[in-house]
Structure 1
Amino acid sequence: MKPQQIAPVESSTETHKQDAPSVSLFITLLILYSVVCFSIETIPDLSAGMRRFLWYSEVCVVGIFTIEYLWRIYTAENRLKFIFSFYGIVDFLAIFPFYIAPAVDLRTLRILRLLRLTRLLKLARYNSALLRFSKAIALAKEELLIFTVGSMVMLYLAAVGVYHFEHQAQPEVFRSIFDCLWWAVATLTTVGYGDIYPITTGGRMFTFVVLMLGLGLVAVPTGIVSSALSAIRQEQESKGSGKR
């Protein structure tokens, strides 16, 4: 029986030619510089000179990203497809807050400032390891979707279970299923904040079961993604050996 061939995972960046290493490095450093400036802006009592420097830095960064975005649209084989692709949307969101800020009252739309952090997603285009990871996620998306749905069901059942055991003993703590969901999240993820915990024998036994399930819950997606990464790496190595 012949081994099953792995179908190549298409990337939305394939609509463009491969960027030169120097350009990729420059954009990567620019993204990191932008994020550092964003963080510095949150420091209280900055001097007027520093705020002015950060403003001009933002203007320069946005200008370069805007040129890059327009260039990618111009050189794309299918421009509409690129605009609505993952990377096209990320590129747009990376510059959108700067242009929309003067037109709106950011006192009520300060969340737009956080969109600047989408520039970090641009790193996936310029880093081969991140590109392999994104391909692995795409390869295992069906398994991850099933796992996510199963996790949500397990989370709800855990909340219902602890509500059954603890509601009468701690009505002020486990008041409703929604309160119990917080306990279920902290327990299934094995974080265990300790701010809400069972005191009955049945509740503690149930918690033990949920904790054991939580250990597996953490391990399953790791195995799925690791297997997909291994498949992507083998595919790339086979392509590389075939070109020799």
Structure 2
Amino acid sequence: MNSQKPLRTVIAHIFEGAQPYSKIGKALDIFLICLILLNVVAIVLESVATLHQQYSTWFLTIELVSVAIFTLEYLLRLWCCVDKTEYLNDDSSAKKRLKYFFTPLALIDLLAILPTWLMMFFSLDLRFLRVIRLLRIFKLTRYSRAMQLLLESFKEERSSLLAAFFIMSVVMILAACGIYLLEHDVQPDKFGSIPQAMWWALVTLTTVGYGDVVPITAGGKLFGGLVTVLSMGMVAIPTGLLASSFADQMRKRREAFQEAVLHSLIDGELTLDEREHLEHLRVELGLSHMEANKAIKFITSQRVHDVYCRHCGQRL
């Protein structure tokens, strides 16, 4: 490690996977991923009564060691986040840490350790605690480009998704009111009120159709068929929005990397510092080496064709 850099900066670069600590950062990521998966498997197996009784000591050891490591990771990330590239232009260290504290990934890290720490001071239902501890699987979001893109897609399309869910809620209420009017006289035990009818409307609109509550009158069956046909289009709305936003996020990340490459090639070549910066940006954007190399080759060839004549080879 470079002894000239402060320890906090070195740790921040390791967590970010920046050069020259990319190998250490990758090894740390692999270790944490394996630890998260081990925790998930242990929590699931612990729910089996016979296994819990037989291997309770092992489960407790895995839990305590994991929480100690996750707590250390969380505190280190909170401590060194002031040296992260995205926070370098902020005012004070306190504001940087507060900003990082409320980021989705930081909140997920906090939820991964909070239940066990609360258990030490309060008496909690073990079943509830086990379910909350399973939220540690969301820590894999930090290492999964697909999950990061999905979260960005939700954030990008939140207003459209809210509008779609609002429309679906209105349609569900109308469907519940309609089936209530048609069926409540012949099936008062299943459609005796609009709230009871909402269960049928919900499973019909989501195309699940459990079959535990079905209309039996001719009008109810006709109305149910119309609602089923309508539901096919309703469910497709949020799915289409997320799919489109997911593809758009990938395109934006590739374009951002291409713009960085173009800016680095202003002088006609990539220096060592510029290559390190591009590598750090590649990791941050979640692009593969193949995508990054393809972008660099494309921008380089495009720049060559723009500057040199393809016929005489003279510089324009």
Within the candidate set 87, 98, 108, 1:80 is matched to 98
Find the counterpart in structure 1 of residue 86 from structure 2. Answer: none
Would the aligned equivalents of 2:43 and 2:130 in 1 still touch at CA under 8 Å? Answer: no
Which residue identity does 1:18 align to in structure 2? E
Q: Kindly report which structure 2 residues correspond to 1:41-190, keeping only aligned pairs within 5 A, or say none.
A: 41-46=46-51, 48=53, 50-77=55-82, 78-107=96-125, 110-190=127-207
User: What is the CA–CA distance in structure 1 between the aligned matches of 2:15 and 2:168, rounded to whole Å?
Assistant: 40
User: What is the CA–CA distance in structure 2 between the aligned matches of 1:215 and 1:47, rounded to whole Å?
Assistant: 44
User: What is the CA–CA distance in structure 2 between the aligned matches of 1:147 and 1:42, rounded to whole Å?
Assistant: 38
Deviation at 1:68, TM superposition (A): 0.7
Would the aligned equivalents of 1:163 and 1:174 in 2 still touch at CA under 8 Å? Answer: yes
Would the aligned equivalents of 1:163 and 1:180 in 2 still touch at CA under 8 Å? Answer: yes
Bigger mean CA offset, 48-57 vs 174-183: 48-57
User: What is the CA–CA distance in structure 2 between the aligned matches of 1:188 and 1:47, rounded to whole Å?
Assistant: 41
Find the counterpart in structure 1 of residue 29 from structure 2. Answer: 24
Deviation track 1:154-201 (CA, whole Å, cap 9, x = no partner) reads 111111110011011211221111110110111111111111110111
Among all aligned residue pairs of Structure 1 and Structure 2, give the percentage whose two residues are the same amino acid. 35
Q: Kindly report which structure 2 residues correspond to 1:188-199, keeping only aligned pairs within 5 A, or say none.
A: 188-199=205-216
Would the aligned equivalents of 1:41 and 1:54 in 2 still touch at CA under 8 Å? Answer: yes
Which residue identity does 2:107 align to in structure 1? I
Q: How much is the aligned-residue C-alpha RMSD, in angstroms?
A: 2.0
Find the counterpart in structure 1 of residue 7 from structure 2. Answer: none
DSSP 3-state at the match of 1:103: coil
Detail structure 1 runs of 4+ shifted over 6 Å in the superposition.
none
Deviation track 1:65-88 (CA, whole Å, cap 9, x = no partner) reads 001100111012211122222222
Does 1 or 2 have the higher relative contact order (CA < 8 Å, sep 6+)? 1
Deviation track 1:198-230 (CA, whole Å, cap 9, x = no partner) reads 011111111011101111122111110111011
User: What is the CA–CA distance in structure 1 between the aligned matches of 2:193 and 2:52, rounded to whole Å?
Assistant: 49
User: What is the CA–CA distance in structure 1 between the aligned matches of 2:127 and 2:122, rounded to whole Å?
Assistant: 10
Which residue identity does 2:180 align to in structure 1? Y
User: What is the CA–CA distance in structure 1 between the aligned matches of 2:74 and 2:15, rounded to whole Å?
Assistant: 14
**Max Rg structure:** 2
Which residue identity does 1:89 align to in structure 2? L
Q: How many residues align?
A: 230
Deviation at 1:47, TM superposition (A): 6.4
Find the counterpart in structure 1 of residue 286 from structure 2. Answer: none
Deviation at 1:110, TM superposition (A): 4.4
Find the counterpart in structure 2 of residue 35 from structure 1. Answer: 40
Which residue identity does 1:177 align to in structure 2? I
